[in-house]
Amino acid sequence: MLQVVSDPKAIDEAIVRLREALTGVPARDVRLTWRGGGELRTAIHWAPDDGFWWALEPRPDRDTLLLGHAPEAPTRRESITCSLNLTRSGASRRTAGMVAADGAGRLYLAHSGRLAGQSPHGLAFRDFLADGVWRKTKWPDDRQTEALVVAPLDSPRLMRLLGRFVAAVRGFKIGDARPTRRTGHCLQPSPRDSAAAACDRRLVDVSLHEELAKRGLFGGTPDLFSLRGERPRPLFAVVADDQADELERAVRSLSRASLKRRMAVRPILVAPDRCDAALEALPFTCVRYTWRGARAVFDGLDDALA
């Protein structure tokens, strides 16, 4: 379970870490607007690879991370997609943003999941982003709520995770299809896995979906690498960390699922390249991956699918 951080010094340190992790191309004197007629002129930073801009604005009692959807370069006037208000002292459920910590002391940027209104489809944000990293969170007064983990503050993939959060909020507000594309071929992870591993796993799953789509597993025009003929459906268990307990849970889940479904599936374990070489001794195929920026790159996927 995560714990909402309320100590002013710890929050200040978290804000410093967040500011150091944020990157982007600066644009000065941009006019920002939001629903209700508000307006602000400030400098923003555009992250072109991740499709959003950001501005971190200090206030007397809080710091506000302003975020905007931006697949193209920002103009002199931009609309704010969402914001994360981070209270500097104490903890308040009146604001959606928060800094949270896990049992190991790792810090996360998190969101309560409360967004004004509903999507045009009538969904609440929690339902819209059901496959997000939602975790039970304990407040200083011992009340427990559920929060969406946006990103670990020390993650080298923080910008990509922030970009996906902005895309999700925008999709919710305008009624787009669900913003994340899951393979449909992956076992659901254990809720006991760390929030940091769960954030990385979502990015691995997106990369895996893209690679499988190239090979014709989701219909459409097959390319040179598409699978031919009737084959057992691949069933993946994705490991996002090299901790022994996460590996063990993934292996058990994949073993149970493959026994239950027998010849209908082909079990494949997807694990970081740094994982122990003993994985090769498992009774099913192991595909390794490394990170290229914020994208997972797979080694041995074609052999596993052959």
Residue 1 CA, distance from chain mean position: 18
In this structure, the number of other CB atoms found within 10 A of the CB of residue 214 comes to: 14
- What does the block give as tokens for 239? 């490991």
CA-CA distance, 271 to 291, in Å (whole number)? 11
Helices (H), the chain: 8-21, 125-128, 158-174, 195-214, 244-261, 301-305
DSSP state of 178: P
Please state the domain extents for the chain: 2-174, 195-305
* pLDDT profile of the chain (306 residues), mean per 10: 94 94 96 85 97 94 94 95 89 90 95 78 82 94 95 97 96 74 65 86 91 75 49 84 81 82 78 76 86 95 88
Res 70: pLDDT: 97
In this structure, the number of other CB atoms found within 10 A of the CB of residue 140 comes to: 12
DSSP state of 186: B
Res 227: pLDDT: 47
Res 186: pLDDT: 78
Res 255: pLDDT: 86
Res 224: pLDDT: 42
284: three-class secondary structure by DSSP: coil
Question: DSSP letters along 15-48, please?
Answer: HHHHHHH---EEEEEEEEEETTTEEEEEEEEEET
* Torsional sign, CA 239, 244, 245, 249: positive
CA-CA distance, 154 to 51, in Å (whole number)? 21
CB 93 within 8 A of CB 48: no
CA-CA distance, 205 to 17, in Å (whole number)? 27
- What does the block give as tokens for 137? 């969170």
Res 263: pLDDT: 59
The candidate with the shortest Cα–Cα distance to 195, out of 91, 108, 86, 97, is 108
